[in-house]
Structure 1
């Protein structure tokens, strides 16, 4: 677990949040939680139930690793992010934020037309690390601009 951080206006990234993290983020204006963890990844509490208790919209969009980075999931993530932005702040998390950064970078380049270089910078700010080669491969395969 790591403490979620703001990587863009009203956008937070992090590893698995605690109930206390969620409560604090709600006070900061977060209205949607996007969980990228796979269902089989262990969690110490029922995050969906805690989000509901706090009045926060909860979305599970499992990304287990590089093999799950594909165009369809990137489109779905982009739409989910757009929906979340209309409601207020958003927390996107996985276990370490590496998958968060990967999806942020792919969304930026494939859904929003950012250059790959700018998208990777955004992704790194949100936690992109070891998944960067997979992000670059998919972006280039999908014709992202340099």
Structure 2
């Protein structure tokens, strides 16, 4: 089980996945030291300060970038990309972040409903538990529309 790393807005999505806001260089170093193998970043390039790709890969972790700029990026295609990525990663220790964890929780909520068959309420609860805040109304609207055609 991946131990807590005291990341900004840290939440536990599973035994080996922490969701969070933006880690700094020292926190990425601590994540690598704790055995994290994958970092998933949802922040678009214009939002990022440092080059996370080099920083993460130089520490021996795999870097994955799935930019989510706004609620418009919360769509079946993006959620399917995340589902595929999480399928590849499996149970390997992972840090999944955006700026505050809001987008992470939103995507995990949609994945729970659209790919794992959870009810809308169960999916919203997963989203809240993993960092979703301001995007909850948008996610709730999408969930009310039902499961998209895959």
**Segment drifting more, 23-32 vs 127-136:** 23-32
In 2, Cα distance between equivalents of 1:24 and 1:15? 15
- Kept in 2: contact 1:26–1:54 (CA 8 A): yes
Q: In structure 2, what is the equivalent of residue 68 of structure 1? A: 73
Displacement of 1:3 in angstroms is 5.5
How far does residue 29 in structure 1 lie from its aligned partner after superposition?
A: 2.7
Report the Cα offset of residue 4 of structure 1: 3.5
Is this contact kept in 2: 1:34–1:92, CA < 8 A? yes
Paired position in structure 2 for 1:99: 103
* C-alpha distance in 2 between matches for 1:18 and 1:99: 18
RMSD of aligned Cα (Å)? 1.7
In structure 2, the residue corresponding to 1:100 is in which secondary structure? helix
Would you say how many aligned residue pairs link Structure 1 and Structure 2? 142
Gaps spanning 5+ residues in structure 2: where?
A: 1-6
Q: Distance in 2 between matches of 1:34 and 1:63?
A: 12
- Structure 1 length normalisation: TM-score? 0.89
Superposed displacement of residue 119, structure 1:
1.3
Q: Give unmatched runs, 5+ long, in structure 1.
A: none
1:117 to 118, 121, 128: 121
| TM-score with structure 2 setting the length | 0.87
Tell me: CA distance 1:124–1:89, structure 2 relative to 1, closer, same or farther (3 Å).
same
1:35 to 41, 46, 63: 41
